[in-house]
C-alpha cells in the first residue's frame, strides 16, 4: 500500500527552503492554502441558529459540524480569500487521532464539509478522489461568513507535544515518561502565560474585535498556549510554537509589556554557527555572516540554507531562488562561505538543521523551566530569543548562557553567547481602545487586505457573497456576544470557477503575494 501520509500535501504546497512543514508556516506564504483546523469553538446554540444548521444523527457528528463551521467562519473573517485544504484520506485522520478531538475522522469531517457546501457556506469545492496521492481537497469559504460576529475561542492544541516525520506529516508516538516530563513543562509554562497580561504597546496598533491590527497585519492575542513540534525523533526539532507574539514583526516586539512592565528581548548570538564551531572544538571568531562583498542578511540566509540542505544541489537550488535565479552568483557565495568556514565545512549540506534546532530547543526548555516554571516569571520564547520583563533581564542572560554550556559544552567566549538587547520605548498607543474598534465591511464591500490573506488561482462567483443575506446589529465591543440571524437561500450556492473573483479578494491576493516576494528578495530570515 502506498504511504499516503508521506505523499499527500496541502493543495498549494509551495515550501521555501529550510521549512519543515510546521502547521503555522502557511501564514508566511500567501501561495499556500490554509489547513482546516479543529481549534475554533463558538457557542453551539447561537452557531446553529446563525447558520440554520440541521440536527445531525449523532452528538459527535454535531460537534464536528460545529468545529468545521466555526473554523470556516474564522477563516473568512481573518484570512479573506484564502482557500482551505483538507484531506479525504482515512489514513490521514487515523495518524492524527492522538492530536484531534473525539470523532474528528474522515467520515464526520467530509459529511460536515459536504453539508456546508450544500447550504452554500462553501464554494469552489475541489474534491480529490479518496486515497489519491498528491494534493489535498480544498474549498473557499463563502466571504459573507465574515459578517457573523459570533464570539469565538481558540483552544490550545490537544497535545502539547507534536511529532512529525521527515516529510512534515503528523505521526503518533508512544507516551513515555520522558514525553510526560516534556509535556508537563509546557503545561506549567502555559499556566503562567495564561495569567500574564501581554500587551503590544506599539504605535499604530488598534483593536478590531478580539484581534489587533497594525496596518494590514493581523494578530490574535488570545493565542497564548505553547506547544512543541519534533521532526522525526526526540533529538530533532522540538521548538516551541503557538504564541501570538512569535508572529509580531521584529521591529514591534520591543514594545511588548508584560504585566504592565517594559520588556527586553534577548537573543542568542549566531546560535547555529556557534553550536557547529563548539562541536568542532573551535571558538567562533568574529561574525559568522560577515563575508566580504556580500550583504550580511543574504549571507545569514545562505549559511542556514547550506546547513539545512541534504545535498549540494539542493542548497544551490534554494540559494539560486533566493538570489532571483542568479545561479553563478549562488555558486560563488557558497564557495565564499565555505572558504570563510573551512574548519566546519563538513556541516554544510548535511541536513543538520533539525538536529541543531533540537539543541536550541533544549536550551529554550532549560530557560523556560528555570525562569517560568520555577520562578513564575512570564517569558515569551521566539525560538532563539526570549522576551522578558525588564527587571529580570540579567537573570535571563545568565540562564541563557548556562543553558548553552549545559547543552553544547563550555566555551572560551561565554560573553559572546548572548547578544546585547535594545530597550523598549514606551509609546502612547490606541491598542485595546473601544473607540478604535473597526466594524467589518458589509458583504461584497472592499475589506482591508492582509499579508495573511490571498486567493488561489481558482475563481469564484462574485454573486456568492450576496447569496447569504445577514440581518442584525454589529456590536461595537468585542466583549458583547452577537448572534446574527442568517437567511438561507432557497437553492444551494453552486461553485462557478470561470467567473472572476470579487475585486477585494483579487487585491488581497496580489498585495499579499507582492509583499511576500519582496520579503523573500530581501533575504530576510
Report pLDDT digits (tens) over 388-415. 999 999 999 999 999 999 999 988 788 8
Residue among 91, 212, 99, 223 nearest 161 (CA): 99
Which contiguous run of DSSP H or E holds residue 463?
A: none
In the chain, pLDDT over 70 holds for what percent of residues? 73
Q: What would the DSSP string read from start to end of 161-198?
A: EEEE-TTS-B------HHHHHHHHHHHHHHHHHHHS-E
Helical H runs in 155-311?
177-195, 271-279, 296-308
Residue among 380, 355, 348 nearest 230 (CA): 355
Q: What is the pLDDT of residue 1?
A: 26
CA 517, 521, 524: angle at the middle one, nearest 5?
A: 100
Cα separation, 397 vs 416, whole angstroms:
11
Reading the chain (525 residues) residue by residue, the pLDDT tens digits are 223 233 343 444 333 222 233 355 566 566 788 999 998 999 999 999 999 999 999 999 999 999 999 999 999 988 888 899 999 989 889 988 888 999 999 999 999 999 999 999 999 999 887 655 557 899 999 999 988 888 888 877 778 999 998 778 888 888 888 899 999 999 999 999 999 999 999 999 998 777 788 887 778 898 899 999 999 899 999 999 989 999 898 899 999 999 999 999 999 999 999 999 999 998 888 999 999 999 999 999 999 999 989 999 999 999 999 899 999 999 999 999 999 999 999 999 998 989 999 999 999 999 999 999 999 999 999 988 999 999 999 999 999 999 999 999 988 788 899 986 444 433 333 332 332 222 233 233 333 332 222 223 333 332 233 233 222 222 222 322 323 333 233 333 333 333 344 455 455 556 655 655 555 554 444
Residue among 458, 439, 452, 484 nearest 76 (CA): 452
Reading the block at residue 323, the C-alpha cell is 538570489
The length of the chain, given as a count of residues: 525
Contacts of 170 by beta carbon, 8 Å cutoff, 6+ apart: 95, 96, 99, 162, 163, 164
Cα separation, 383 vs 408, whole angstroms:
17
Q: What is the pLDDT of residue 378?
A: 97
Q: What is the pLDDT of residue 305?
A: 93
Which contiguous run of DSSP H or E holds residue 138?
A: strand 137-141
Cα separation, 140 vs 455, whole angstroms:
9
Cα separation, 79 vs 143, whole angstroms:
10
Q: What would the DSSP string read from start to end of 369-423?
A: IIIIITT----EE-SSEEEEEGGGHHHHHHHHHHHHHHHT---TTGGGSB---PP
205-208 vs 137-141, strand pairing mode: unpaired
Q: What is the pLDDT of residue 67?
A: 96
Is the distance from CB of 436 to CB of 206 less than 8 angstroms?
A: yes
Is the distance from CB of 161 to CB of 185 less than 8 angstroms?
A: no
Q: What is the pLDDT of residue 514?
A: 60
Instruction: Domain ranges for the chain, please list them.
Output: 4-149+440-521, 161-272+353-416
Amino acid at each position: 500500500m502506498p504511504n499516503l501520509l508521506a505523499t499527500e500535501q496541502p493543495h498549494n504546497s509551495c515550501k521555501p527552503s529550510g521549512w519543515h512543514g510546521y502547521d503555522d508556516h502557511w501564514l508566511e506564504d500567501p501561495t499556500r492554502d490554509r489547513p482546516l483546523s479543529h481549534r475554533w469553538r463558538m457557542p453551539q446554540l447561537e452557531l446553529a441558529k446563525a447558520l440554520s444548521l440541521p440536527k445531525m444523527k449523532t452528538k459527535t457528528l454535531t460537534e464536528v459540524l460545529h468545529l468545521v463551521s466555526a473554523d470556516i467562519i474564522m477563516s473568512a473573517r481573518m484570512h479573506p480569500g484564502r482557500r482551505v485544504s483538507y484531506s479525504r484520506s482515512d489514513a490521514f485522520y487515523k495518524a492524527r487521532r492522538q492530536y484531534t478531538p473525539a470523532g474528528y475522522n474522515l467520515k464526520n469531517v467530509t459529511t460536515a464539509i459536504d453539508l456546508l457546501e450544500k447550504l452554500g457556506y462553501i464554494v469552489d469545492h475541489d474534491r480529490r478522489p479518496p486515497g489519491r496521492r498528491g494534493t489535498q481537497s480544498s474549498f473557499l469559504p463563502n466571504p459573507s461568513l465574515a459578517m457573523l460576529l459570533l464570539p469565538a475561542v481558540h483552544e490550545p492544541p490537544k497535545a502539547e507535544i507534536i511529532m512529525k516525520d521527515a516529510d512534515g506529516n503528523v505521526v503518533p508516538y508512544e507516551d513515555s515518561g520522558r514525553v510526560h516530563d516534556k509535556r508537563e513543562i509546557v503545561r506549567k509554562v502555559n499556566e503562567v502565560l495564561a495569567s500574564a497580561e501581554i500587551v503590544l504597546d506599539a504605535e499604530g496598533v488598534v483593536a478590531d474585535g478580539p484581534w489587533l491590527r497594525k496596518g494590514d497585519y493581523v494578530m490574535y492575542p488570545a493565542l497564548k498556549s505553547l506547544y512543541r513540534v519534533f521532526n522525526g525523533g526526540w533529538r530533532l526539532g522540538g521548538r516551541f510554537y503557538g504564541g501570538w507574539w512569535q508572529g509580531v514583526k521584529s521591529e514591534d516586539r520591543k514594545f511588548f509589556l508584560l504585566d504592565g512592565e517594559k520588556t527586553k528581548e534577548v537573543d542568542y548570538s549566531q546560535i547555529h554557527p556557534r553550536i557547529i564551531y563548539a562541536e568542532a572544538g573551535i571558538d567562533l571568531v568574529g561574525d559568522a555572516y560577515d563575508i566580504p562583498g556580500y550583504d550580511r542578511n543574504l549571507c545569514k540566509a545562505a549559511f542556514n540554507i547550506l546547513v539545512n540542505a541534504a545535498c549540494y544541489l539542493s542548497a544551490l537550488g534554494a540559494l539560486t531562488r533566493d538570489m532571483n535565479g542568479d545561479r553563478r552568483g549562488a555558486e560563488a557565495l557558497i564557495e565564499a562561505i565555505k572558504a570563510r568556514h573551512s574548519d566546519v565545512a563538513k556541516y554544510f549540506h548535511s541536513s543538520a538543521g533539525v538536529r541543531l534546532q533540537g539543541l536550541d530547543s533544549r536550551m529554550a526548555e532549560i530557560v523556560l523551566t528555570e525562569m517560568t516554571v520555577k520562578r513564575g516569571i512570564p517569558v515569551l520564547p521566539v525560538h532563539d530569543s526570549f522576551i522578558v520583563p525588564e527587571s529580570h533581564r540579567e537573570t535571563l542572560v545568565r540562564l541563557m548562557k548556562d543553558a548553552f554550556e549545559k547543552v553544547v559544552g563550555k566555551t572560551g567566549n561565554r560573553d559572546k553567547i548572548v547578544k546585547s538587547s535594545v530597550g523598549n520605548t514606551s509609546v502612547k498607543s490606541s491598542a485595546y481602545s473601544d473607540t478604535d474598534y473597526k466594524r467589518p465591511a458589509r458583504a461584497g464591500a472592499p475589506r482591508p487586505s492582509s499579508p495573511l490573506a490571498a486567493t488561489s488561482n481558482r475563481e469564484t462567483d462574485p454573486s456568492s457573497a450576496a447569496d447569504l443575506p445577514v440581518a442584525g446589529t454589529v456590536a461595537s465591543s468585542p466583549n458583547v456576544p452577537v448572534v446574527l440571524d442568517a437567511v438561507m437561500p432557497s437553492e444551494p450556492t453552486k461553485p462557478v470557477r470561470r467567473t472572476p473573483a470579487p475585486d477585494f479578494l483579487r487585491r488581497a491576493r496580489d498585495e499579499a503575494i507582492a509583499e511576500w516576494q519582496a520579503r523573500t528578495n530581501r533575504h530576510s530570515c
